[in-house]
Structure 1
Amino acid sequence: MRRRSLLRLGAAALTAPALATAAFGTAVAAPRLRIRGADLSSLAKSEDLGGTYRHADGRRDDAVRILAGAGVNWGRLKVWVNPADGYHTRPHILRTARRLHERGMRLLVDFHYSDTWADPGKQYKPAAWENLHGAALEQAVRDHTADILGALRAQGTPAAMVQIGNEINGGMLWPDGSTDDWPRLAALLTAGAEAARAASPGIRIALHLAEGGRNEATRWWFDNAVAHGVPFDVVALSFYGYWHGTLADLRANLNDVSARYDKDVLVAETAYPFRLDSEDSLENIVDLPSELVPGHPATPEGQSAWLRDIAAVVAAVPNGRGLGLFYWEPTWTAVPGNGWDPADPASGNGWENQALFDYDDRALPALRVLGRG
C-alpha cells in the first residue's frame, strides 16, 4: 500500500470505465474463493489504543471473531524490522497469529524488509542494515525471515504463505536490490524464499507487485524473476481500481500471467471507500468523486459492489488459478494514536473511509460480501 503523496497521480490517470457489476457480480455463477482474506496489520495497535469493533447490529465483539463469523478465512500481517512504535514485529505478529489460528484462519506474512512502509515509491533499508551489502545483506534477509517464520511455527501457528517483499515493482532494499540490478535483486529474493521454506516447510512463496491491471509491467518484472531463477509459487498483485486500471485490465492480466508462468494468482490488496469525508483531522487518501471508479459510488452499496466485482474476476481465472483476495486494512479505523506515521502518535489515518467498519464501529455490508467470496 502507498500513501496519498505517491498515488494521487494514478487516480487522475484512470479514465477507462469499470466493468458493470452485472458482468462480474452475482449474476455470474462462480466458485467460492479459497482465500477470503483481510490484512489486519493495524489491529493490535488499534485495540491497544482503545479501538472497538461491533457487529452490524451494534453488538461489541472481538474484531477477529466478527471477521471469521462473516466468512473471512485468511489474515495478512506485515512485518517491519525495527519500527519507531514497536508494532509489526515478532511479539505482535505472534499474538495476532494466535488469535487467527483460534478462529480457524490461515496466515500470510508480508515482509517489508524495512523499518517503515515499503511500496513502489520507497524501499528503505532497515537502519540496522544500512551498511550491509552483498552476502551480508542476503544473510540479514535470511535471518530476519527465518526468525519470524520459525517463531510462528514454534508456537503452533505456522504461516501458510509469505510475501518476500511488499509492492516491489522497483525492487527492495534500495539501492542494493533495485530492478536496475536484477542479479542482486534476485539474490535477495532467493535468500528470503529459501529461508522461508527452511523455517516453515510447505509454505507458499508469493512475489507481490502493485501492478494489478498493468500486464506489460507485470510481464517485464516476472520475466526477469524467472530468468534469474527466483523461486516462487504465487503471483500477488495489488489492485485498487482508482489507481491500477479497470476490472477488465485486471482480468486480462490475471488470466495472462497465470498461464504464462503456470502459477496461481492472488489479489494481495484491494479496498474501496464507503464514504468520502474524514472522521479525523487527516485528509483521506481517496476523498473526491473524481477519484472513484465509475459505477461504484462511495457508499456501503458501492463498496459491496466493488468487492463482488473483484471476487468474480479472480474466481473466473482459468483452471482454478485464482486463489482469492485480501482486503487491505479493514480494521484501520480512526483511533487516536494509530495514524500512518509510526514515529508520530499525532499523525492521522487517511484510510478510515475504506475500512469495513463504519464511523460508529459497526461492520459494513461489504464484510459479508468478502466472507462469501
Structure 2
Amino acid sequence: MVMIAYSDFYTSDGLQRVPKSWGKMDFKTKEKAVAAYTTQVLEKIQKAGGLIGLIQIGNETNEQFIGEKSPKRIAKLLKTASNAADEFTKKHHSKAKIVMDFANPEDQNLSEYAELLHENDVPYDIFATTYYACWNGTLKNLTRQLKEISEGYDKEVMVAETSYPYTLLDSDGMPNSIDNKDVLVKGYAASPQGQGKMIRDVIDAVVKCGNGGVGVVYADAAWITVGNDYNTNPAIWEQFGSGWKSQYAASYDKSIEAVTEGSDVDNEALFDRRGKVLPTINAFAYAYSGSVKDK
C-alpha cells in the first residue's frame, strides 16, 4: 500500500497541515499541485521498481484535508487526487486499487463520509477505516458500519490501521500509548496470545462484511526500540530518528513540543525489543489456513 499524506508532517484525523510550499496557494492552484504531486509520487515508486497494489489518498481525512475544512473542498481535492491516481494506473496497466480512509468508527458516522464521496462523484475502490480496539468501539460495530457501506455503495472495505499490545512493559524509555490494564479490551490480555486473538478477530470482523471485506493492515509492526539503554536512547533518537516527531517538528506545528521522541507503540509491535518475531505474526497466515491449538 502507498499512502500519500499530502503534508510535510504526519497526518491524522486532527492533524492535516498543508505543506509549507503550498501554504499561500489559492484553491485552484492547490488542486493542480495535488494532481501533479500524486502523479510524481506514484511515478517515482514505479520507476524504482516498487509494487503498488493499493493507493491510499490521504490519511484519516474525516474533517480536514491539506488545510481545507469545507466538506465540498475536501471532496474536491480527494477527487482530484483519485483521478490522478486512476490515470497512473491506466497508463501503466496497473491493477492497483484506490483507497479512501476515515477514522473513528465509534462515532457511528462512517456512512456520512461514504455519502460525501458519493454525492461528489469521488472515484475509488475501497473504503477504509482505522480500528484500535482500545479506543474505537466494538468489533460488532466495526462490521456493521463497514458492511453498510459495502452494500449501500457497492464498495470494498478494509481496516487500514490496527494494533494491540503484547505486553504493558516499555522497552525504550518513551511512555507507551497503552501502558495500563484499565484500557485493555475484556478478553484480550496484553500478551502474545491476546494480541494474536485480537488480530484474528479484527480480520474476522472484516470477513463478516461478505465479499466486500478485503483486508486488514497492521500498523507499526516493526516500530521497536533502537536500543536497550534508556539513558542513551534519546541521543540515538536525535541523531537518526525513531519516533513520530523530532524537535524540528515544532517549527511546522506550534502545538507540538520541540522534543525528539522514541516509539510509543513498541509494546504493540509484532517483534520483541530484541527484534525477534512474535508468534502472533502467524495470525495472518492462520486466517487463511486455520490452526491447531497446542494442548
Look up the equivalent residue of 1:118 and give its one-letter code: T
After TM superposition, give the deviation of residue 334 of structure 1 in Å.
1.1
**Structure 2-normalised TM-score?**
0.84
What per-residue deviation string (whole Å, max 9, x for no partner) do you get for residues 22-71 of structure 1? xxxxxxxxxxxxxxxxxxxxxxxxxxxxxxxxxxxxxxxxxxxxxxxxxx
Query: Structure 1 residue runs of 4+, over 6 Å off?
Result: none
Of 81, 97, 100, the match for 1:192: 81
* DSSP 3-state at the match of 2:263: coil
TM-score normalised by structure 1 residue count: 0.67
CA RMSD of aligned residues (A): 1.5
Q: Residues 228 and 346 (structure 1 numbering): CA distance in 2 closer, same or farther, change over 3 Å?
A: closer
Aligned residues: 260
Number of the residue aligned with 1:269? 161
Offset at 1:213? 4.2
State how far apart, in whole Å, the 1-side matches of 2:178 and 2:137 are. 16
> What's the CA shift for 1:224?
1.4
Q: Distance in 2 between matches of 1:279 and 1:118?
A: 26
1:144 aligned onto 2:58: no
Amino acid at match of 1:190: K
Aligned equivalent of 1:368, options 282, 285, 289: 282
Give 1:354's aligned residue.
268
Contact kept? 1:165, 1:208, Cα under 8 Å? yes
Q: How much has 1:339 moved relative to structure 2?
A: 1.6
Specify the alignment match of 1:328 in structure 2.
219
Pairwise mapping of residues 174-323 of structure 1 onto structure 2 (< 5 A)? 174=67, 177-178=68-69, 181-201=70-90, 202-215=95-108, 217-318=109-210, 320-323=211-214
Relative to structure 1, the CA distance from residue 308 to residue 152 in structure 2 (aligned partners, 3 Å threshold; closer, same or farther) is same
Q: Which amino acid aligns with 1:325?
A: V
1:341 aligns with: 245
Aligned mates of 1:371, 1:149 — CA distance in 2: 29
Match of 1:33 in 2: none
**Correspondence for 1:37:** none
Give, in whole Å, the separation in 1 of the partners of 2:97 and 2:273: 36
Measured in 1, the distance between the counterparts of 2:24 and 2:148 equals 40
Contact between 1:238 and 1:267, CA under 8 Å: does it hold in 2? yes
Give the superposition deviation at 1:189.
0.7
Shift of 1:211: 2.7
The CA distance in 2 between the partners of 1:186 and 1:346, in whole Å, is 34
Q: Deviations over 1:252-288 (max 9, x none)?
A: 1121111111100010000000111211121101111
Corresponding letter in the other structure for 2:28: A
User: In 1, are the aligned partners of 2:59 and 2:101 still within 8 Å (CA)?
Assistant: yes
- Give how far 1:214 is off: 4.0
d(CA) in 2 for partners of 1:206 and 1:248? Answer: 23
Q: Percent identity?
A: 30
5+ long unaligned stretches in structure 2: 227-235, 249-258, 288-295
The SS at the match of 1:135 is helix
Q: 1:111 offset after TM fit, Å?
A: 1.1
Q: Which consecutive unaligned segments of at least 5 residues does structure 1 have?
A: 1-107
Alpha-carbon contact 2:224-2:263 (below 8 Å) kept: yes
